[in-house]
Amino acid sequence: MDTQRRTGENGPAPFRSSRFFCVGSKWYFTTREGFDSGPFASRERAEIGLRRFLHVVRMLPEEQQLH
């Protein structure tokens, strides 16, 4: 569990869990919005998938970005 505060956070650190999870032998990532993506062949592939997802989200106009 990650208990460190992020930049700009005040007060106690909220509960955080990994964005990655494995079902059987397949890996997935989840977003804060509850979107699960996968399956990926390995955790490393899921990490690449998450980086690509975040890259696309950052390119969206501000009003369309996921929060």
The pLDDT tens digits of the residues spanning 9-35 come to 676 655 567 899 999 999 999 988 889
Is residue 30, in this structure, part of any structural domain at all?
Answer: yes
Is 51 within the bounds of a domain?
yes
Query: Quick check: is 67 in a domain?
Result: no
d(CA 36, CA 9): 26
> Does residue 11 form part of some domain?
no
Nearest to 36 by CA among 55, 22, 16: 22
Tokens 């390119």 belong to which residue? 59
Name, in order, each residue with C-beta under 8 angstroms of 44's C-beta and a sequence gap of 6 or more. none
**Residue matched to tokens 């955790």:** 43
Kindly state whether residue 24 falls inside one of the protein's structural domains.
Answer: yes
- State the pLDDT confidence band at 67, using cuts at 50, 70 and 90: low
What is the band of 53 on the pLDDT scale with cuts at 50, 70, 90? very high
Rounded to two decimals, what is the model's pTM? 0.67
Q: What is the total count of domains within the chain?
A: 1
Predicted pLDDT of residue 1: 41
Question: Does residue 35 contact residue 54 with C-beta atoms inside 8 Å?
Answer: no
Confidence of residue 6 (pLDDT cuts 50, 70, 90): low
